Amino acid sequence: MSYELRRRLWAAILILGFFAAWEFLCLALQVSDLVLPRPSQVFATLVDRLGILWPHVLQTLWTTMIGFILGVTVGVVIGAAIGVSRTAYDTVYPLLIGFSSIPKVAVVPIFVLWFGSGATPAILTALAMCFFPIVVNIATGLATTEPELEDVLKSLGASKLDILWNVGLPRTMPFFFASLKIAVTFAFVGSVLSETVASNKGIGNVMMTASSNFDVPLVFAGLFLLAALGILLYVAFSLVEARVTGWASRRQGFASA
């Protein structure tokens, strides 16, 4: 059996073991459903109410991806500006740090005041949550370009834009994809956070309503759906990363030796 297959098999066994232990402990300790439902109850709730939950899943996924795409666009532009300009770094970076330090739950009411309830606050909250990791990683990737390499390229007639496009941005790809996998999870947090406050649709709204009705299995069903969506997007970005930045990763065989 190859190393890769053994690694995946052990991962699957540990994940299944986690849910089995959860089920067993809830039964053995007679934990109330109002405190912690068993995985079997959560999965049964997912199956029984999937038809009701599906439109909310699509709503959350839609607002998350729109906010994520906008956040990535804004993050790449600002990160590139910070990475190539010392003035932009000194001016914009402190402002971004200050904004990222603000709890986003405090920003949601402002978005509601400006745009009303619905999808727009969820999109903007997802954007606000996810763009900062993109900025930091893009700026860091551009900052790792050696000054000696830039001097050589300039002596060959390359402009700053040529260096940025042909050297700087390709070198940021490992940093960029690493930030994407973090940012997409933050985008989900932002969307759900807004939906609990300012929406009548979405997984966040379902979880808030279920919590007020003490329907704890449905709350956990929403958590499971969010986790599944996050994992699927993480895997998708990992596959694209492996194709685009394979040159930046060591081979598994070498790494395990």
- Assess whether pLDDT exceeds 50 at residue 96: yes
DSSP string of 160-185?
HHHHIIIIIHHHTHHHHHHHHHHHHH
- Written as one letter, the residue type at 57 is V
List of residues 6+ apart from 154 with CB closer than 8 A = 163
**Is the distance from CB of 201 to CB of 55 less than 8 angstroms?**
yes
**Is the distance from CB of 207 to CB of 219 less than 8 angstroms?**
yes
List of residues 6+ apart from 2 with CB closer than 8 A = none
**C-alpha to C-alpha distance for 154 and 234, rounded to whole angstroms:** 38
Long-range contacts of 75-78 (CB under 8 A, 24+ apart): 75/130, 75/131, 75/132, 75/133, 75/134, 75/135, 75/138, 75/179, 75/183, 76/134, 76/138, 76/176, 78/131, 78/135
- Assess whether pLDDT exceeds 50 at residue 254: no
Dmax (CA) of the chain: 74
pLDDT tens across 136-174, in order?
888 877 776 666 666 666 666 666 666 666 666 777 777
Q: Which two tokens mark 192? A: 């759900």
Percent of the chain exceeding pLDDT 70 equals 84
Please count the residues of the chain.
257
Q: Which two tokens mark 245? A: 């930045």
Name which residue leads in pLDDT, 161 or 240.
240
What is the reported pTM? 0.81
Q: What is the pLDDT, as a whole number, of residue 147?
A: 62
Q: What is the pLDDT, as a whole number, of residue 150?
A: 64
- Assess whether pLDDT exceeds 70 at residue 25: yes
**C-alpha to C-alpha distance for 248 and 168, rounded to whole angstroms:** 15
pLDDT tens across 44-80, in order?
999 898 888 899 999 999 999 999 999 999 988 888 8
Q: What is the pLDDT, as a whole number, of residue 253?
A: 43
Q: What is the pLDDT, as a whole number, of residue 247?
A: 57
